[in-house]
Structure 1
Amino acid sequence: MDVREARRVAALHDYDILDTPREAAFDEVANLAARLCGTSIAVVNLIDADRQFFKAEVGLDVRETPLETSFCAKAILEDDFLLVPDARLDPRFGCNPLVTGDPHLRFYAGALLKTDDGLPIGTLCVLDTEPRTLTELQQQALKVLANQVWAS
């Protein structure tokens, strides 16, 4: 693990939020994100060293997944936002088992959750089983909601 990644994971652990129960405020944000973007799946997730923990989720019914299949682990390498209109056509995700098999994900958009000093610790993301894109307004709304999630 490089120094930046170690700092990022340490910062995440400082929040002491991993493996905590669901909370209505986070669930409301995930539900709103799915409705605003017209997707069947939305997640507030936190990226640990070896897994992603879902603080809130709509449409998945799981609380964590390994990093090997995580779209969000790639999103935290971006500056603020990752948009993948069709995962089958993206070399980062085309061979991902979540794309090639159940649930056959096609679309991903994620806005970063960052610490006060800019370390990415997770995302607010929306996913779907159909290729799509987001309008500028939907992208902006997802970014604003992500900022609100972490500000609270």
Structure 2
Amino acid sequence: MAGKKSSQYSNLTEACHDTLTSRGKTNQLAKRLGRTPTTLSQQLNPNVDYTHFDADNVLPAMEEANDDTPLHWLAEQRGYLCVHVVPAGSDCKLEFELMKSSKEFADVVCTYNDIMADGVVDQEESVRFRKEAREAAAQLLAMADAVDAAVDLPKEEVPSSLPRMSGTPTDREQ
């Protein structure tokens, strides 16, 4: 990330401003958006009240600067965390398993939020949380198994997905 940590910005415009200026990309974005650099600089300036940076321009700003700081700022404001996932078809052939692992972890977080909503954990909620935690742990172990299996394989032979999991990580289908 450029400049400050995303949590140190007071608003989205400030995050976009710093992202572009610290990377020297304001002029390139102005050209891309069909604006003059002066107009864009005024819109990006968090201290200027008479003009504002459009929300529709946040994605082009991040693309131009190759910096996701504004996205991280937005996520933090809502209590989320952004994690870059390797796109399908990349050199990493285990991306599907990574996405499954991320989904299982998200299930754990959502379950935690649900059971803590009233500040009291009952037995049923505890069982539900433990179930989600076990599923996440099993998926992480399955991914670790796939990574282990890919050690020293030629790139074209690295598996793109893992065998389906059964109830426990040690008795999965092969």
User: Normalized against structure 2, the TM-score is what?
Assistant: 0.19
Larger Cα-atom Rg: 2
Answer 1 or 2: higher relative contact order, Cα 8 Å, separation at least 6: 1
More helix by share: 2
More strand by share: 1
